[in-house]
Chain A
Amino acid sequence: MIMLIMKCSLLAMTLSLAAIPAVGAQGKKKSDSPVDSKAGQACRIVATAPWVKRQAEWFDESAPAWTNDTLRTALLRAAGITAPLTPPVQIGVQVAGQSRPLGDGADEMLAQLKALASTRGSAWPTKSVVGAAGVHAVYLLVERDSVLSRSALRRLMEAGPAESPAVDVATLEDRVRIQAGRKQLYGTQFRLDDRGAIVLAPMEDSAHADLRREDAGLPPFALGLCLAKNMK
């Protein structure tokens, strides 16, 4: 009887996970609304979850307040952001070798960001300069370049949580650490194994992962793992 219940539970879980909409490598969903699979409790993104609300708050651009609209427009175009961001903007799932396509002028913008990052005292595009979407565009661009990632991460950290989204900073820090041969801290980096399955890249101290992820505004670790393993 117990075995039967377990088998039924496993079948239900498998079906519910299969029902989850596909999520892009940068946390950009193909649908515009948060994932809300009624069948799958474990793999469900709930719009009222604290981490989603926190991202919604940080990325809210209903009252535009950035100072450099020209740079912002160029950043969004280069990063391939064509529509307003909808939370959650960042689910913290990056699979090595899988990236969403960038937009027009990406190479030029990357060169511009490299020049900024290597110039001491230069004005880095932060939230007050290019808005929340502009800063996310910076993240989408810099994470493509391992050298730029390192210097950009420093600039993003220096800018602080009011000017840089903690979720992007955490995801980028993990990426930089993995690229440097170190273990990640937040559990946002994945790779494909020999059989093509998505597996978590080496990680430090997974026991406290949820504390760090909560601090960064990432989904709970179990949800992140579930979302990653069910990516198409």
Chain B
Amino acid sequence: MRRSLLVAGSWLVIAVFRAFGQGGAKSDGSKSVSFAGDTPGREPKSFAPIVGTWVISKDAGKNVLFIDGRVWKRGQPAGGLADKARELYGARNEEFIESIKAFAYFPIAVYKGLDNFEGGDISVRFQMVGGALDRAAGILFNVKPNGDYLTVRYNGTEDNVVLWTFNNGVRKFVKRATETVPLELGTWHTLKISVRGTALQGFLDGKLLLEHTLTEPVSGKIGVWSKTDSMVEFDGFTVTPVVK
């Protein structure tokens, strides 16, 4: 009896652990990703790295997600791109791969725990570690099966928050934040977007810095974004979808 309880308890712990690794759902519908169950040096379980080298790293003894720009090669997608694209988009994976190859200067990792984000809040903590060309941390959203997407990102080489669109292989600047905010490397900060219909807001450390009206409501996958040789650690990825 005692042994059975012990076994059942162990399974429960594992189940909860797995659920939170993929993004444990809370009572308000939000999902927060923990990397505690991941293996340092390996790819994350809860994200599909599409471009760039995304691995689990340790920061102050805690597992975090690290985009390692030291090994960034111009225009090189992540390993196993075809398999990951198939996992994310099934039969439409070819279209996704072609578009992603056009954006291969921009490392992205797609969150596996939510198929369709149509509004709500997404936040992520980030710590810039290095990068000669860029030190960029972004929230990826509105990821379409054809590989188009939107991102709100902070870049430490420009000290600003910017909204970019990526459509049909073309990257376009949309909106820059109202002010520049220099951040020190090796310090944790929070980037957040809030989407309600076509209204987009971007926050850095709780401060509203960017407001924009999108051409249409968002609908698609989400994740994290970076640029070229950036070395950035991510943690606390949280999504709170709007309840319809």
Contacts and interface: CB of A to CB of B under 8 A. Distances in A.
A208 B128 CA distance: 10
A202 B187 CA distance: 16
Interface in A198-232: 204-208, 211-212, 214-216
B70 interface: yes
A105 interface: no
Interface of B: 69-70, 129-133, 157, 182, 184-187, 229, 231
Given A166-B132, A169-B132, A185-B130, A208 B185 contact: yes
Given A211-B70, A212-B231, A214-B70, A170 B132 contact: yes
A160 B69 CA distance: 14
Contact of B229 (A173, A182, A215): A215
A102 interface: no
B133 A211 contact: no
B184 A205 contact: yes
Interface residues of A, number: 20
A215 B184 CA distance: 18
22 contacts: A157-B133, A161-B133, A166-B132, A170-B132, A183-B184, A185-B185, A204-B184, A204-B185, A204-B186, A205-B184, A205-B187, A206-B186, A208-B130, A208-B185, A211-B129, A212-B129, A212-B131, A215-B69, A215-B132, A215-B229, A215-B231, A216-B132
A182 B129 contact: no
Interface of A: 157, 160-161, 166, 169-170, 173, 182-183, 185, 204-208, 211-212, 214-216
Contacts, number: 48
Nearest to B128: A205
The interface centre, meaning the residue of B182, B184, B185, B187 with most chain A CB atoms within 10 A of its CB, is B185
A231 to B, nearest CB: 25
B182 A207 contact: no
A166 B228 CA distance: 14
Contacts of A207: 186
B95 to A, nearest CB: 30
Given A205-B186, A208-B231, 4 more contacts: A160-B133, A204-B185, A208-B186, A216-B132
A211 B131 CA distance: 9
Contacts of B129: 205, 208, 211-212
A162 to B, nearest CB: 9
Contacts of B70: 211, 214-215
Nearest to B134: A157
List 10 A-B pairs, minimum CB-CB distance, nearest first: A205-B186, A212-B130, A205-B185, A204-B185, A208-B129, A204-B184, A215-B70, A211-B130, A166-B132, A207-B186
A157 B132 contact: yes
A173 B156 CA distance: 13
A19 to B, nearest CB: 33
A185 B133 CA distance: 13
Contacts of B69: 215
A218 B181 CA distance: 28
